Amino acid sequence: MEIVKVNPKSAEIERLCSREVAPSKEIHDKVMAILADVKKRGYAAALEYAQKFDGLTGKTLRVTDASIAKSAAKAGPALRKALRTAIKNVRDFHKNQMEESWLMEAQDGVVLGQRIRPMKRVGLYVPGGAGVYPSTVIMNAVPALVAGVEDIVVVTPIKDEINPAVAFVLMELGIKEVYHIGGAQAVAMLAYGAKDAKGKTIVERVDKIVGPGNVFAAIAKKEVFGVVDIDMVAGPSEVLVMADSACDADFVAADLLSQAEHGSGFEAAICITDNMETAKMISACVDEQVENSPKRELLKKVLDNFGRILVVKDWFDGVAIANRIAPEHLEVMTSEAESMAAQIENAGAVFIGPWSSEPVGDYFAGPNHVLPTNGTGRFFSPLGVYDFLKRMSIVRYSEKAIKKNAKAIATVAMEEGFYHHAQAVLKRL
C-alpha cells in the first residue's frame, strides 16, 4: 500500500477529497426517459422495465407473503439469532432519537409550539443484484418504524426468490408490501405511484425514498427529490483510520480492506499516522492480507486508486486532514483515542479504540450505517428517526395579542409591499 508524506495543503489530499463517480450523459438520459415513462404509463411501464432489467418472469410486481415466508424459513438458526439481536440493538439506539411535540406560552395568551408527526408512507430500496443486504433493511426500516411510519414499501431487484436473510428481516419487522423491481423504474414507481390502464391505483406514491442502489437508482433519487424526499445520494464507501505506534497494524490493515472490498473501484481506504515506521508496518500487513484474499484483484484496484497511508508531521495536521476529508467511517486507534476523537468535527461515524472495528457499526452496534460520503459529513448526518418525522409550527394568538401587535405586523407587511397581508391583521382591530 502506497505511503505518502503530506500536510493539509498537499495535492494528494485534494485528490482524495475530489473522488467521485460521475455518471455519463447516456446513463442520465436513460434515467430521465424511464422516469418520464413510468410517470406517464404507470404500472404497465414499471412492469415492462422490471421484466427487461430486473429478471422478473411473472406478470405482477408484488412479492407474495407466501413467497417471503418460504424464503425466510431457509434462514438458519445462527443467522436468525444474529439478525434478531442486530434489530434489537438498532431499535434500542434509535429510540433515543425520538422527538416530542412541545408548546410554549408567551405573553397576552399567545401559545406557540411545534407538533411532531411521522411520515405516513416510506419507500425502501434494497439492492438485490450483486449482493445480499439484510442490514440495509434493518438500518433503513427500524428508524422509520420507531418514528411511527405506518407503511414501509420495499423495492428490490431480486433475481429469483427473495434472499432468506432479507426475507427473515422483513417478517421480523412486519413489512409485507414488497415489489420485484429495481433501478430507476423502482424509484419512479415509488415517487409517482402506479396506476393501471383503467386509472386504478396499484401502488400508492410514498413520501420519502431511502436506501442505496445502483447508479440508475441513485440518479433517479436525485431527480425525484422535491416530488418526494430522499435520504441522500450516497457515493462509494470510505474509511479513514488514525493510527500511531500504539496501534495493532494487522487490525488497521483489516479495517482498511473491509471498505476496499465493496467493489466499485472508487472506495477510499485511508490511514493517517505520525510515524513512518508505523506506516511501513501497516503497509506490509495490508500487502500480506491482500495477497491472501479471495478478492485480491478487486482490492488491488481500489488501493491503487484511493488507498493511501498518509504520514503527517504531527497530529495537528492529522486531525485537520481528517476533518477536511470528512470520511464516512473514521476509526481512531491511537494511544490518546478519546481526546483525539473529541477533535473530530466532520465524519459520518467515529469508532474509538482498537476493538471498535467498522463492521461492528455496519451490522450490529446500533447506530445507523447509512452515512454521508464524499465529504458531505461536513453538513449531513447519519440516517435516523428524525429523517422520518415532520415538524409543524403551531401558532395560537389571542384577541389581546393581535390588537397589541397588529399595527407592527402591518408595518412590516407594507414595507414588503403586501397590502392585503396588512389588511388581514388590521381588520381584526
pLDDT by residue (tens digit) across 27-80?
999 999 999 999 999 999 999 999 999 888 888 999 999 999 999 999 999 999
| Mean of pLDDT values over 147-158 | 95
Average pLDDT for 321-348: 96
State the pLDDT at residue 130. 60
User: Is-catalytic flag, 291?
Assistant: no
Angle CA 49–51–55, to nearest 5: 120
Please write down the HEC assignment for all residues of the chain.
CCEEECCCCCHHHHHHHCCCCCCCHHHHHHHHHHHHHHHHHCHHHHHHHHHHHCCCCCCCCECCHHHHHHHHCCCCHHHHHHHHHHHHHHHHHHHCCCCCCEEEECHHHCEEEEEEEECCEEEEECCCCCCCCHHHHHHHHHHHHHHCCCEEEEEECCCCCCCHHHHHHHHHHCCCEEEECCHHHHHHHHHHCEECCCCCEEECCCCEEECCCCHHHHHHHHHHECCEEECCCCCCCEEEEEECCCCCHHHHHHHHHHHHCCCCCCCEEEEEECCHHHHHHHHHHHHHHHHCCCCHHHHHHHHHHHEEEEECCCHHHHHHHHHHHCCCEEEEECCCHHHHHCCCCCCCEEEECCCCCHHHHHHCCCCCCCCCCCCHHHCCCCCCHHHHEEEEEEEECCHHHHHHHHHHHHHHHHHCCCHHHHHHHHCCC
> Is the confidence at residue 128, as pLDDT, over 90?
no
Indicate if the pLDDT at residue 131 is higher than 80.
no
Three cell numbers, residue 306:
484511493
Mean pLDDT of 250-270: 90
pLDDT at residue 129, as a whole number: 64
Tell me, what's the pLDDT at 158? 85
- In sequence order, the 6+-apart residues with CB closer than 8 A to the CB of 134 are 83, 163, 165, 166, 168, 169
Of 120-129, 138-147, 245-254, 307-316, the least confident? 120-129
Catalytic residue among 329, 331, 358, 369: 329
262 a catalytic residue: no
Q: If you average pLDDT over every residue of the chain, what do you get? A: 94
More confident residue, 214 or 35: 35
Residue 9 has a pLDDT of 93
**Is residue 221's pLDDT more than 80?**
yes
pLDDT of residue 18: 84
Query: In what order do the strands lie in the sheet containing 238-243?
Result: 3-5, 307-311, 268-273, 238-243, 329-333, 349-352
Q: Which residue would you say has higher pLDDT here, 389 or 234? A: 389
Question: What's residue 147's pLDDT?
Answer: 97
Q: Range with the lowest mean pLDDT among 20-24, 87-91, 177-181, 404-408?
A: 20-24
Output the pLDDT for position 31.
Answer: 94
Catalytic residue (one of 177, 267, 328, 331): 328
Instruction: State the average pLDDT over residues 244-263.
Output: 93
Q: Which residue reads 442520465 in cell numbers?
A: 28
Q: What is the mean pLDDT of residues 211-231?
A: 92
pLDDT recorded at residue 21? 67
Residue range 386-404: mean pLDDT, rounded: 96
pTM beyond 0.75, yes or no: yes
22 pLDDT exceeds 80? no
Mean pLDDT confidence for 243-247: 96
**pLDDT of res. 234:** 79
